[in-house]
Amino acid sequence: MIDDLGRLVTCESPSSDLAALARSADVVAELGIRLTGREPDRIELSGRPHLRWRFGTGDRVLLLGHHDTVWPVGSLSKHPWRVEDGLAYGPGCFDMKAGLVQLFHAVASLPSPDGVTILVSADEELGAPTSRQLIQEEARRVAAALVLEGSADGGALKTARKGISQYELRVHGRAAHAGLEPWNGVNATVELAHQVLALVALDDGRQDAATVTPSVISGGTAANTVPAEASVRIDVRVPTVDEQNRVHAAIHGLRPQLDGARLEVVEGPAHPPMEPAASADLYRLAEEIAAGTGAGPLGSARVGGGSDGNLTAGAGTPTLDGLGAVGGNAHAPGEHVVVDQMPVRAALVAGLIARLLVEGP
């Protein structure tokens, strides 16, 4: 498993580099073929190589992962692949190349994988712009989805994820000379300041509630010109569909405070929340299996970050996330995986698949 992880990590695969993703897809395909004996379907969408294995009807269990990472090509020079003191290091090892290794080793250990579908996407770190529909279609075919993203702290499974919505609020004002006749302008930056405060008011400051974060701001063209245009990007995280709908309506309901200003809301990608009910039965089953092998208790966590598990849960499919590697520092220097937990987690996933193939969720 360590050798397999090393091959994946040393084949860098940033989401933005299609050539690197193509090379990575070949390495992932080789791993899957060697361990399962089956060639994948290669599904290219807008130049992005997604891989799918279907065993038998493939309509019982969906195993979900991704091979793209946030790390640009060349990151290995600063963060080399290595194994030290029981930890494996390298860009993308925790998020989520170790999860892919564990996934394929789990499937290889089954008496028969018939009923299993494996989908490895190439754009999860971007919010699944090309694989979104594919993931949801596969989710609707199966009784349960298991997501091999890295675990929460201490190896806990992820039983709930906040939904994510992205927006851009654009303010249209009117330019004027800042020295000669500023009163003839409509200052888009001032209007934007009013709107940023209105956005912050939608966030009640609690970790388990909706968060609304104004982030990237731009505006104006010259220091001596009343800005005619300004904008802010908005990151929204919500625990429930009702909260997602509330914040969505509130953002679209914003009204200008300055005479002559106009607001425009541009919607970006959105993920539905993975609410606790989507994972409850699968989590109980996972704890039961872990207890039987001496690996439990696993623990559970609700997290703010999104994954493709949001999409499968949003499609109405029971979903359990965080089944991948135990480790930490995702997307950051020191990203690592606890090596001796890799076979333990693979055995847990294999046990879940075996039970689900027989019993259903």
Using the 3D structure, point to which of 271, 300, 326 is the last residue of a domain.
271
- 249-288 confidence digits (pLDDT tens): 999 999 999 999 999 999 988 899 999 999 999 999 999 9
In this prediction, residue 360 carries a pLDDT of 64
Helix/strand/coil (H/E/C) assignment for every residue in the chain: CHHHHHHHHCCCCECCCHHHHHHHHHHHHHHHHHHHCCCCEEEEECCEEEEEEECCCCCCEEEEEECCECCCCCHHHCCCCEEECCEEECCCHHHHHHHHHHHHHHHHCCCCCCCEEEEEECCHHHCCCCCHHHHHHHHHHCCEEEECCCCCHHHCEEEEECEEEEEEEEEECECCECCCCHHHCECHHHHHHHHHHHHHCCCCCCCCCCEEEEEEEEECCCCCECCCEEEEEEEEEECCHHHHHHHHHHHHCCCCCCCCCEEEEEEEEEECCECHHHCHHHHHHHHHHHHHHCCCCCCEEEECCCCHHHHHHHCCCCEEECCCCCEECCCCCCCEEEHHHHHHHHHHHHHHHHHHHHHCC
The pTM of this model reads 0.90
Instruction: Tell me what the mean pLDDT of segment 6-17 comes to.
Output: 98
Average pLDDT of every residue of the chain: 96
Q: Which of the residues are catalytic? A: 68, 124
Domain that holds residue 215: 163-271
CATH code, domain with 127: 3.40.630.10
Share of the chain above pLDDT 70, in %: 99
Average pLDDT over residues 100-117: 98
Residue 128 has pLDDT above 90, yes or no: yes
Is the same domain home to 260 and 328?
no
Does 224 have pLDDT greater than 80?
yes
Residues 33, 156: one domain? yes
Q: What is the mean pLDDT of residues 236-249?
A: 94
The CATH number that applies at residue 252 is: 3.30.70.360
Q: Is the pLDDT of residue 341 over 70?
A: yes
Quote the pLDDT of residue 69: 98
Domain boundary among 271, 295, 317: 271
